[in-house]
Amino acid sequence: MPSPPIPLSTAAARRIWLRAQRLDEAAPFGDGPAATPAAVHHLGYVQIDTINVVERCHHQILYTRIPSYQRDHLRQAQSVDKSVFEYWTHALSYIPTADMRFFVRAMKREAGLSGWFKTVTRGELQKVLGRVRRNGALTIRDIDDDVLRDKDHEWASRKPSKRALQLAFYRGVLTVSQREGMLKTYDLMTRHFGWERLPSAAPESERTAYLLDRALRSQGVVSLDSVCHLDAPRKAAVAKLIGSRVRRKELVPVTLDGARHAHWVTSELLDAKLEPVDDIIHILNPFDPLIIQRKRLAQFFGYEHRFEAYVPKEKRVFGYFAQPVLIGDEIVAVLDLKTDRERAKLKVQKWTWLGKNGRGPRRRLIEEALHRFEAFQLAR
């Protein structure tokens, strides 16, 4: 008979998650260019997003864990060292190149792409691929002979070639060899990495193990929902693998206060003696891996984050692009931030306290962190 789940306090679960996210120390990956691929490897992926109210989320996620981070370090990892690449996880993300074989099967799969890319003709695809093969890497701005079309949604391009480039990207024929803001340079995947062909696709069983191991490394305490974030079809396979690891005593089932879903943790982490977190301050982007799974965040931290960029102004609680503030192991405030680049200032449009203890000293600590964050954002 399987052993009954072990009770795990919310405080202990929260502490384990902070350790897994490397948010319990000031510079867990060191400094210099090597820290960036190390952070991407540990987290498994770093999400990319187009919103530019403050810093792009991929840069802020890395800055949060690498205080000396410079944007050029990510450029070097992507374009020079080629230790990271862009592809889709639950969203467009930076992923370790060493993990590419776990994504090759998705690249070769047409399913899920036909709806978005149904307007791409064979001729349009051949046109952009021919240009890249003949002339080298290019951006959409380098293509100036398209017959323009009306946009079918706000974020679309009038150039048919843009969708053709994206289709070739998702198929693994092209990769993003360089990025300047949201402007992507596309090159042949094989040419960029110096390969004759793509790596062989990992078997589905290895892909399942990769997803579970990635979650255990970056989350510490996991559930089916947290392992399979926005990927419900994989839950059956992941649940089967978890069951086999529990039987081999590699994973321990735990119960969390008030949780409706089962959770698991490795026995090593369960037995580890983790010291209380010092008053380290992190201003967390809403796409940070600690924040993005909001139900899990509420369970572990007692804080329900609201992403209100698409909420009417009169219905917003925290603000357009609110960012939680983590001090130690507690989310103490939410700040609606906006960078005024013309005046070189970081503006706090709204400050919401979540607790009543130590607001005075904490405000000073947060303001010091804001000054550091402002300096990072404005350093180009």
Beta strand ranges found along the chain (DSSP E): 6-8, 46-47, 84-88, 92-96, 174-180, 183-188, 251-256, 263-266, 281-283, 322-327, 330-340, 345-353
Report the distance separating Cα 194 and Cα 186, nearest Å: 15
pLDDT of residue 1: 57
pLDDT in tens, 199-247: 999 999 999 999 999 999 999 999 999 999 999 999 999 999 999 999 9
| Structural contact between residues 46 and 92, judged by C-beta atoms closer than 8 angstroms | no
Using the 8-state DSSP alphabet, how is residue 311 labeled?
Answer: S
Report the distance separating Cα 94 and Cα 295, nearest Å: 24
pLDDT of residue 2: 65
Is residue 9 helix, strand or coil? coil
Two tokens, residue 123: 């001729």
- Identify which has the larger pLDDT, 159 or 206: 206
End-to-end CA distance of the chain: 60
Report the distance separating Cα 148 and Cα 159, nearest Å: 5
pLDDT in tens, 29-54: 999 999 999 999 999 999 998 888 99
Residue among 296, 307, 92, 310 at smallest CA distance from 182: 92
Mean per-residue pLDDT over the chain, rounded: 92
130-138 contacts at long range (C-beta below 8 A, 24 or more positions apart): 132/174, 132/186, 132/187, 132/188, 133/188, 136/187, 137/177, 137/178, 137/185, 137/186, 137/187, 137/192, 138/185, 138/186
- Does residue 191 surpass a pLDDT of 70? yes
Residue among 69, 9, 58 at smallest CA distance from 286: 58
In the block, residue with structure tokens 């008979």: 1
- Does residue 184 surpass a pLDDT of 50? yes
| Structural contact between residues 242 and 226, judged by C-beta atoms closer than 8 angstroms | no
Q: Residue range 107-114: average pLDDT?
A: 67
pLDDT of residue 361: 85
Q: Which of 207-211, 224-228, 265-269, 271-275 has the lowest mean pLDDT?
A: 271-275
- Does residue 150 surpass a pLDDT of 70? no
pLDDT in tens, 307-325: 999 999 999 999 999 999 9
| Structural contact between residues 305 and 352, judged by C-beta atoms closer than 8 angstroms | no
Identity of residue 162: K
With bands split at pLDDT 50, 70 and 90, how would you rate the model's confidence at 11?
A: very high
- Does residue 114 surpass a pLDDT of 60? no
- Does residue 56 surpass a pLDDT of 70? yes
Burial label for 158, CB within 10 Å (0-12, 13-18, 19+), is exposed
Above pLDDT 90, what percent of the chain?
81
Phi/psi for 157 (5° steps) reads: -110, 150
Report the distance separating Cα 311 and Cα 21, nearest Å: 29
Q: Residue range 269-284: average pLDDT?
A: 91
Q: Residue range 9-32: average pLDDT?
A: 96
Q: Residue range 250-271: average pLDDT?
A: 92
pLDDT of residue 111: 47
- Identify which has the larger pLDDT, 360 or 125: 125
Cite the residue boundaries of each domain of the chain with CATH code 1.10.10: 109-193
pLDDT of residue 58: 96
In the block, residue with structure tokens 């503006």: 347
Above pLDDT 70, what percent of the chain?
93
Report the distance separating Cα 187 and Cα 193, nearest Å: 10
Q: Which of 56-65, 259-268, 270-279 has the highest mean pLDDT?
A: 56-65
Q: Which of 60-74, 135-149, 276-290 has the lowest mean pLDDT?
A: 135-149
Q: What is the CATH number of domain 109-193?
A: 1.10.10
pLDDT of residue 160: 81
